[in-house]
Amino acid sequence: MAKTVVMPQMGYDMDAGTLLRWLKQEGERVARGEPIAEIETDKVNLEIESFEEGVVRKHLVAEGQTVPVGEPIAIVGEPDEPIDLPAAAGAPRAAPAAAQASAPAAPGPADGVASAPQPEPVSQVAERAPGERVRASPLVRRLAAEHGIDLRTITGTGPGGRIVKEDILPLIGRPAELAAPAAPAPVAAPAAVAAAPAAPTAEAALPGMPPSEVRDLSRMRKTIARRMTESFQAPHFYVTTTVDMGAALAFREQVNEQLEPEQKVSINDLIVKATALALRKFPMLNASFAGEQVRIYQRIDIAIAVAVEGGLISPFIPDTDHKTLGEIARISKDLIERARSGGLRPEEYQGGTFTISNLGMYDVESFIAVINPPQAGILAVGSIRKEPVYREGTFVPVDLMRITISADHRVTDGAEAARFLAEVRRYLETPMLLAVS
Amino acid sequence: MAREITYRDALREALREEMDRDERVFLMGEDIGAYGGSYVVTRGFLEQYGRKRVRDTPISELAIVGLANGAAMGGLRPVVELMTINFSLLAMDQIVNHAAKIHYMFNRQISVPVVIRTASGWGQLGATHSQTFEAWYAHVPGLRVVMPATPKDAKGFLKSAIRGQDPVMFIEHSLIYRNRGEVPDGEYLLPLEGAEVRREGTDVTIVSWSRGYYLALGAAEELARDGIEAEVIDMRVLRPLDIDTVVRSVQKTNRLVIVEESWRTLGMGAEIAAAVQEHAFDYLDAPIARVGSVEVPMPYAKNLERLVIPGKDEVVAAVHELLRRDVAVAR
């Protein structure tokens, strides 16, 4: 029987993907699990695997075309069986770039950075009247909640358009997990994450404002915008403390003398380890607000915010507190490198139970960060600067670093956050603890 | 080693083994002695065990079960045969108000270890002789209700029922007495509880019992030709009901069809469906389907009777309905 391959949802906030390149042409045979196409999601490019085995009978989507999650992109079947094309997809639609070109032009780009024709992702696939209830089986609702999938983006193929198991499995990509009643994945998405409506495109100059050039947001920018807006549903509060980094700097120097260049430990690695260890004592900061409940994670996965061209991304180090400093150094180097080259896999950045954002290299004294939802806290790390400190009747130069936690007031309070910061400081000011804990 | 025997022979072996083992075991019922039983289960027993232990009775189910209850309370091990489950209605009071309650009402000082064998079934027997009442008895706390489908279960269950302390409704089926199946050599007993997964599958679970189990199995084999793998569960015991086995299966397949020969209203299927949604709501991918009889008194005419009783085709159709896709997908 011929089967359709659909645009998969590679995680929580993906609502559409761009088909970059077909890896299997029409008429080519594809095995189950073999890459069939390369797609671009909000954050990375990745290869998608076929869930079906057979011959690629038909591409339903042209290279360069953006389609919503769940939309059929190809038909795989036996070489000679008759196939029906899904009603919605006839011939591959032309990539919308051409259409875009004739759109009313914004004032010409001054600096040569033309606004790239960015296909607008369609945020809703299913043709439902506004406010119409999504019909989905209880199983599908549970899976959608566990994997953070917005059911409104899925076309149901069951009786009466009900979304059934087969409609959601390809978006999850791990059918094996379904069988056993598994514990909820630690990466919990908020129960109802509504995709934020797309911002209206400014067309004319705003009254009182100078003439402007209107650029489309990149996909990453749109994702960041939506996620950060979402974050402000969490009432934030902020606590700052100052850490004497003298011992940590000396410790790092001493350790690195003995290590090969690729193993060398950075100050950030020390902060990651100190934070992970401190979180052990403060479970409410390694948690997520979930309506009438709080979800306390049984593992500490520290995410690191990495600045990349045009945005940022936060891959995480699984089970951070149980990793040695050397392991943390090696893993985070690798994650950061691949984040910058666009080579992260979704499962490496979708998740994390607490985030560290370090602007130390930009010579900032301190800053406050926005929580990375659904996490409960984020630590903003400033630069280490030599400052005069009054000690025993005289000023001495001390390497000071300011760290600021932003925390979700629904799950924790100022006093707890302050005690947490003191614990982070204790580890950093007694860095031998980082080597033995 | 195992032997292959009929369902009827399995019952005979169980009765013989228990009568040989324990003198207190005796049989009572209409036409079970000289005639050998309406379904010929006890043929030859009168000659072998004598009139004292194989008693033909008058046509009064109330009296038969009443006598058996008294004998059981007095220390004997009566095995009663009620010709068909339709006639058990006449003994309802003795079964429901006495056998099922006495142990409880007399503070466990007295037990009523009575076994009531009876046959469900149909086959041009008319409206009053073609009914399926297992749900009526499974409703009552204090009774055990078993409905074996295979010779192995029939023998093992009957022996356990005779030895146990509880009153047992042991419901056979007139259309499976000649079914053959393997039974272990030598003596064995089976606990009177627990459903069994008899065929593994991934796409849908089909639950049934007694003759319905064979419908389910036939449907599963037909579905397999379409690439649909059905898991088939034989409930075996209807009280206590082993819902855990069904729930585990539904957690795997996400879909459930219950096949029963009785009317669906307030039947076993209704109970199983209710229990499954309580325990596995978040695993259901489709409404739970029930396949049962058309809700009319059974017609006598053969063609009409066939329309009323569910067959394999109805089970297959129910599964296809659960797996139906409305929106065009290339298949």
Of the candidates A4, A140, A180, the beta carbon closest to that of B329 is on A4
Q: What's the Rg (C-alpha) of chain B?
A: 20
Contact B251 A139 (CB under 8 A): no
Residues of B in contact with A179 (CB under 8 A): 251-252
Q: What is the pLDDT of residue A196?
A: 37
**CA distance to partner chain A, nearest, from residue B330 (Å):** 5
Compare CB distances from A165 to B281, B285, B326 and report the shortest one's residue.
B285
Residue A9 makes CB contacts below 8 A (sequence gap 6+) with: A15, A69, A70, A147, A149, A153, A171, A172
Mutation choice for A interface testing from B279, B285, B321 by most A CBs within 10 A: B285
Q: What is the phi/psi pair of residue A302, to 5°?
A: -85, 125
Residue A103's pLDDT is what?
41
Q: Among partner residues B227, B281, B328, which is closest to A138 by beta-carbon distance?
A: B281
Chain A residues inside the 8 Å CB shell of B329: 3-4, 72, 86, 157
Find the chain A residues whose C-beta atoms sit closer than 8 A to any C-beta of B: 1-4, 72, 75, 77, 83-87, 137-142, 155-162, 164-166, 179-181
Catalytically annotated residue among A147, A236, A322, A409: A409
H or E, element range at B14: helix B7-21
B143-166 b/e (C-beta count within 10 Å ≥ 16 → b) = bbbbbbbbbbbbbbbbbbbbebeb
Of the candidates B284, B321, B328, the beta carbon closest to that of A139 is on B284
Min Cα distance B192 → chain A (Å) is 28
Which pair of tokens denotes residue B235?
């409930």
Q: Hey, CA dihedral for B317, B323, B325, B329, is it positive or negative? A: negative
Q: How confident is the model at residue A370 (pLDDT cuts 50, 70, 90)?
A: very high
**Does A431 score more than 80 pLDDT?**
yes
For chain B, domain boundaries:
2-184, 196-322
Q: Which residue of A has its CA nearest to B227?
A: A1
User: Which of A131-135, A155-159, A313-317 comes out lowest in average pLDDT?
Assistant: A131-135
pLDDT reported for residue A12: 61
CB contact under 8 Å between A180 and B283, yes or no, is no
Beta strands per DSSP E along chain B: 2-6, 25-29, 54-56, 77-82, 115-120, 144-146, 168-173, 180-184, 196-199, 204-208, 230-234, 237-239, 256-263, 289-293
The better pLDDT of the pair A157, B10 is held by: B10
Q: Which fold has domain B196-322?
A: Rossmann fold (3.40.50)
CATH of domain B2-184: 3.40.50.970
Grade residue A114 by pLDDT with cuts at 50, 70 and 90.
very low
Q: How confident is the model at residue A350 (pLDDT cuts 50, 70, 90)?
A: confident
Interface with chain B: mutation pick from A3, A135, A151, A162, highest number of B CBs within 10 Å: A162
User: Which residues of B have a catalytic role annotated?
Assistant: 61, 129
Q: Which of A84, A140, A160 sits opposite B330 (nearest CB)?
A: A84
Q: Which of B282, B324, B327 is facing A142, going by the closest CB pair? A: B282
3-state class (DSSP) for residue B2? strand
Task: Write down all domains in chain A, each with its CATH number in brackets.
Answer: 3-97+120-179 (2.40.50.100), 224-436 (3.30.559.10)
B51 or A32, which is more confident = B51
Number of H helices, E strands in chain B: 12, 14
Q: How confident is the model at residue A129 (pLDDT cuts 50, 70, 90)?
A: low
Among B203, B205, B244, B327, which would you mutate to test the A interface (most chain A Cβ atoms within 10 Å of its Cβ)?
B327
Is A158's pLDDT higher than 90? no
Q: Which one of B254, B321, B328 has the shortest CB-CB distance to A84?
A: B328
Q: Between chain A and chain B, how many beta carbons pairs sit less than 8 Å apart?
A: 70
Q: Give the span between the Cα atoms of A179 and B248, in whole angstroms.
A: 10
**Above 70 in pLDDT, residue A202?**
no
Residue A317 β-bridge partners = A302
Task: Return the pLDDT at A204.
Answer: 55
Residue A294's Cβ-count burial label (10 Å; 0-12, 13-18, 19+) is: middle
Residue spans of chain B under pLDDT 70: 1, 327-331
Q: Which two tokens stand for residue A66?
A: 């953006």
Alpha-carbon span A387 to A243, nearest angstrom: 12
> Using a CB-CB distance cutoff of 8 angstroms, which residues of chain B are in contact with residue A180?
251
Q: List Cβ neighbours of B221 (8 Å cut-off, separation of 6 or more).
A: none
Instruction: List, in order, residues 6 or more apart from A183 with CB less than 8 Å away.
Output: none
Can B2-184 and B196-322 be said to share one CATH topology? Answer: yes
Q: Which residue has the higher pLDDT, A91 or A254?
A: A254
Determine contact, residues B119/B147, Cβ cutoff 8 Å: no
Q: Which of B284, B325, B327 sits opposite A137 (nearest CB)?
A: B284
* A28 CA: distance to closest CA in chain B (Å): 18
A325 closest CA partner among A434, A208, A212, A421 = A434
Task: Tell me the mean pLDDT in the region A346-369.
Answer: 92
Q: Which residue of A has its CA nearest to B286?
A: A137
Distance from CA of B28 to the nearest CA of A (A): 50
d(CA B188, CA B32): 25
For residue A166, list chain B residues with Cβ-Cβ distance below 8 A.
325
What type of residue sits at position A320?
T
In angstroms, how far apart are the furthest CA atoms of chain A?
Answer: 91
Q: What is the ipTM of this complex?
A: 0.81
Q: pLDDT tens across A52-97, in order? A: 788 888 888 888 888 888 888 888 888 887 777 654 444 444 444 4
User: Chain B: nearest CA to A298, how far in angstroms?
Assistant: 23
Number of Cα atoms under 13 Å in the Cβ half of residue B82: 31
**A1 vs B325: CB contact, 8 Å cut-off?**
no
Strand-pairing partners, residue B256, are B205
Distance of alpha carbon B266 from its chain centroid, rounded?
Answer: 17
Do B133 and B172 touch, CB atoms closer than 8 A?
A: no
Tell me which chain B residue has its CA closest to the CA of residue A57.
B330
Identify the band that residue A402 occupies on the pLDDT scale cut at 50, 70 and 90: very high
Contact predicate A260/A290, CB 8 Å = no
Angle, helices A414-429 vs A246-257, to 10°: value is: 40
Q: Do B285 and A157 touch (CB under 8 A)?
A: no
- Which residues in chain A touch residue B330, judged by CB atoms under 8 angstroms apart? 2-4, 72, 75, 77, 83-86
The pLDDT assigned to A93 comes to 44
Query: Are A138 and B284 in contact (CB < 8 Å)?
Result: yes
Listed residue (A177, A146, A154) closest to A290, CA to CA:
A146
- Residue B178 per-residue DSSP state: T
- Among A168-177, A345-354, A377-386, B194-203, the minimum mean pLDDT is found in A168-177
Specify the pLDDT at position A101.
40
Give ∠ CA B99-B100-B101 in degrees, rounded to 5.
Answer: 95
* Interface list for B 230-289 with A (CB within 8 A): 251-252, 254, 281-286
Render pLDDT for A259-277 as a digit per residue (tens, 0 to 9): 887 789 999 999 999 999 9
Q: Give residue A201's pLDDT band: very low, low, confident or very high (50, 70, 90).
A: very low
From chain A, the residues in CB contact with B254 under 8 A are 137, 139, 165
How many C-beta atoms surround the C-beta of residue B101 within 10 A? 16
A30 pairs with which residues across the strands? A54
* Selected residue of A139, A146, A169 to mutate for chain B interface (largest B Cβ count, 10 A): A139
Cβ A1–B326 below 8 Å, yes or no? no
Interface contact flag, A83 B330, Cβ < 8 Å: yes
Q: Does B225 touch chain A (CB under 8 A)?
A: no
Of the candidate ranges A129-143, A288-302, B23-37, B84-98, the one whose mean pLDDT is the lowest? A129-143
